[in-house]
Amino acid sequence: MALPKYTEPHYRIWHYVYIFICTCVFFFLIAPLFVIFPLSFNAEEFLSFSEGMKNLDPDAFSLRWYKDMIYGTKNPWGLAAKNSFIIAIFATLGSVLLGTVAALGLSSRHMPYKGLIMATLISPMIVPLIISGVAIFFFMAKAGLAATHTGIVLAHIILGTPFVVITVTATLSGFDHSVTRAASSLGSDPVNTFMKITLPLILPGVISGGLFAFVTSFDEVVVVLFLAGLENTTIPIQMWTGLREQLSPTILAVATCLIILSTLILVTAELLRRRSERLRGINR
């Protein structure tokens, strides 16, 4: 953003002020995440930088908390991680299945009451989580599914589908329906057409919706707090308990792992988005 030579001085000053403000905001956004990295390698039990760390003394750093995270006897992180992944994977599969099929129906121009149905389908995203939590808890308690994996998976399907519906509907909005008609005119049955023609074209949207659903489930704590028993503990529940009771550096080791995971998901999502835009012929 180079300024032209003829810029007047006060606009020049304003421009630098503007760049400075932007830098501050970017710093505010991203810096808190980077505090966690060095502190998770702290050799001591404090959550602030020790003198040794400030002087970059190698003895002040250790992998102690990572070892504690993996081998610690009292730590339920292993069980929590296992539960989190199982629940998130099943919730993602369910959300993607239900959400994609619904999005196919919603983007048909024959769909009756489109606005009302769309509003209903994405309502779990708009309704505050605490209210969703209460409502879903009442249902699961009645259905006898409280404190079961099934109950939590179903709850996360509810919360995850809106993301799939939105991303797949968006992908389908640029979809050329003449290709499916061409397939049917060549004698393909609807299921075959969907598997061979439609699905490969909308796949980036489906996967990025799935990523949203996965992250929603993997990160969800409010509803799980109502539903989970001791057996169903998840990573977010453990973090919540840890942050409430005592902030131990082990949590920071877990948090570092989660940041790495979210970076991977971010990169995947971005690559998919670009691929999807290329496929749909949107050039910017």
Partner 1 sequence: MSSETGKILTTDGIPLEVSLKKAERKNKIKAFLLVAPLLLFLLITYIFPIGDMLMRSVDDKMVTEMLPKTFKSMEKWDGNEMPPEEVFEAFYLDFQKLVEEKRDGKLSTQLNYTKNGFKSILKKLRRKAKNFEEGNYKDQIMAVHKRWADVEYWRAIKRRAPAFTSAKYLKGMDMYKNEEGEIVSVEEDRRIHRVLWLRTLEIAFFVTLLCFLMAYPIAHLLATLPMKYSNLLMICVLLPFWTSLLVRTASWMILLQQQGVVNDFFVMIGLVADDNRPEMMYNKTGTYVAMTQILLPFMVLPLYSVMKTISPSLMRAGKSLGGTPFVTFWKVYFPLTIPGIGAGCLLVFILAIGYYITPALVGGASGTLISNQIAFHMKSTLDWSFASAMGLMLLAGVLAIYWVYNKLVGIDNIKLG
Q: Choose the stretch contacting partner 1; rule: CB under 8 A; options: 72-80, 179-187, 196-204, 251-259.
A: 251-259
The answer to whether 5 and 224 are in contact (CB under 8 A) is no
Name, in order, each residue with C-beta under 8 angstroms of 279's C-beta and a sequence gap of 6 or more: 201, 204
| Residue 74 or 110 having the CB closest to partner 1 | 110
Closer residue to partner 1 in complex, CB, 73/142: 142
Asked if 179 contacts 194 with a C-beta cutoff of 8 angstroms, the reply is: no
Candidate list 13, 21, 63, 182; residue touching partner 1; CB under 8 A: 21
Minimum distance from residue 174 beta carbon to partner 1 (Å): 14
Residue 36 or 79 having the CB closest to partner 1: 36
What share of residues in the chain are helix, strand, coil (percent, to 5)?
75, 0, 25
Residues in binding contact with partner 1, number by CB under 8 A: 91
- The footprint of partner 1 on residues 52-91 (CB under 8 A) is none
Does 203 interact with partner 1 (rule: CB under 8 A)?
A: no
Q: Which is nearer to partner 1, 43 or 133 (CB)?
A: 133
Q: Residue 204 interacts with partner 1 (CB under 8 A)?
A: no
Q: What angle do CA 133, 137, 141 make, to 5 degrees?
A: 175
Of 30 and 73, CB closest to partner 1: 30
Contact with partner 1 (CB under 8 A): which of 45, 110, 185, 189? 110
Question: Among 104, 168, 201, 213, which residue sits at the site for partner 1 (rule: CB under 8 A)?
Answer: 104
Instruction: Give yes or no for a contact between 107 and 174, defined as CB atoms under 8 angstroms apart.
Output: no
Q: Which of residues 125-184 bind partner 1 (CB under 8 A)?
A: 126-139, 154-155, 157-158, 161, 163, 165-167, 169
Residue 32 vs 58, nearer CB to partner 1? 32
Cβ count within 10 A of residue 263 = 11
Q: Please, which of residues 25-54 interact with partner 1 by CB under 8 A?
A: 25-26, 28-30, 32-33, 35-36, 39, 46-49
Say whether residue 252 binds partner 1 (CB under 8 A).
Answer: yes
CA 37 from chain centre, in angstroms, equals 21
Exposure of 179 in the CB half-sphere (CA atoms within 13 A): 15
Q: Is residue 22 a contact point for partner 1 (CB under 8 A)?
A: yes
Grouping H, G, I as helix, E, B as strand and the rest as coil, residue 42 is strand
249-279 vs 64-71: helix axis angle to the nearest 10? 80
What 3-state DSSP class applies to 27? helix
Q: Which of 146, 153, 226, 228 binds partner 1 (CB under 8 A)?
A: 226
- CA-closest candidate to residue 155, choices 79, 95, 102, 83: 95
Comparison of 63 and 247: residue with beta carbon closer to partner 1: 247
Q: Are 172 and 107 spatial neighbours (Cβ–Cβ below 8 Å)?
A: yes
210 forms part of the interface with partner 1 (CB under 8 A): no
